[in-house]
Structure 1
């Protein structure tokens, strides 16, 4: 059950936001075995000046329109799976809605089964 946080600048259409969410979800399904209906995405818009992204870190020429994807997920994916996920997310976002690959930053945050509660104050994966 990944929890995905996607940050971008204000002014995007609902169709753009949906395409971004769809691209990230489909990439996770294709590369790291996430079930298609396992979608928990938080999309956050930020006014200009509230996303402070270095324009040339690692010699990547970024524009002033970044998109940040942070995925919290259970530990256990291989390095190759993670690399495939980064590539697939970036490729899908480039295809639709047309996000420049240079503007996509992805971060994975891994945790354990006990770190998840889906409601009612219960650790659903590790019941007492």
Structure 2
């Protein structure tokens, strides 16, 4: 936890996807201090014509390498989120060659009652987590 959903233009190799996911996970672990084995990631790949990712007047150019990441998570501090954005773009650029201008992140927050990790229980509420 958190849950990361990646939207990408189709065409990356399995090795490129693995590198991208590993780089993002390292940012999650560092920014939010979650256990390394606590990893939830889903990748959606789209034909190029099905992803329109234009900036809102910031003058940011995008390429085919664009990554749109929606993170669903328990509440995080503003500092944790800012650290995550910085670490994520640093890791993706260093490890996967993805420019920071190609990374868009949206955070959706929820509460402990909004999570079940299996067995039909809300583990944050039951004390299992």
Whether TM exceeds 0.5 here: the answer is: yes
Contact 1:67 1:104 in 2 (8 A): yes
Q: For this pair of structures, how many residues does the alignment match?
A: 126
TM-score (norm 2): 0.91
Contact 1:60 1:102 in 2 (8 A): yes
Displacement of 1:9: 0.8
2:48 and 2:101 map into 1 onto residues whose CA distance is 18
Displacement of 1:55: 5.1
TM-score (norm 1): 0.91
Runs ≥4 residues deviating over 3 A: none
Displacement of 1:121: 2.2
Matched, 1:100 2:99: yes
2:37 and 2:57 map into 1 onto residues whose CA distance is 35
Contact 2:4 2:72 in 1 (8 A): yes
Per-residue CA deviations over 1:12-70 (Å, capped at 9, x if unaligned) read: 00111001110111001111111110001001111111111115642212224311111
Contact 2:9 2:64 in 1 (8 A): no
- Structure 2 residue runs of 5 or longer lacking an equivalent are none
Structure 1 equivalent of residue 121 of structure 2: 122
Q: Greater CA deviation, 102-111 or 54-63?
A: 54-63
CA RMSD between the two structures: 1.4
Matched, 1:30 2:30: yes
Change in CA separation of 1:56 and 1:65 when aligned onto 2, cut-off 3 Å: farther
Change in CA separation of 1:93 and 1:67 when aligned onto 2, cut-off 3 Å: same
Per-residue CA deviations over 1:58-100 (Å, capped at 9, x if unaligned) read: 221222431111111101x221111110011001000111011
Q: Greater CA deviation, 80-89 or 58-67?
A: 58-67
SS in structure 2 opposite 1:61? Answer: coil
Change in CA separation of 1:57 and 1:121 when aligned onto 2, cut-off 3 Å: farther
SS in structure 1 opposite 2:118? Answer: coil
Structure 2 equivalent of residue 6 of structure 1: 6
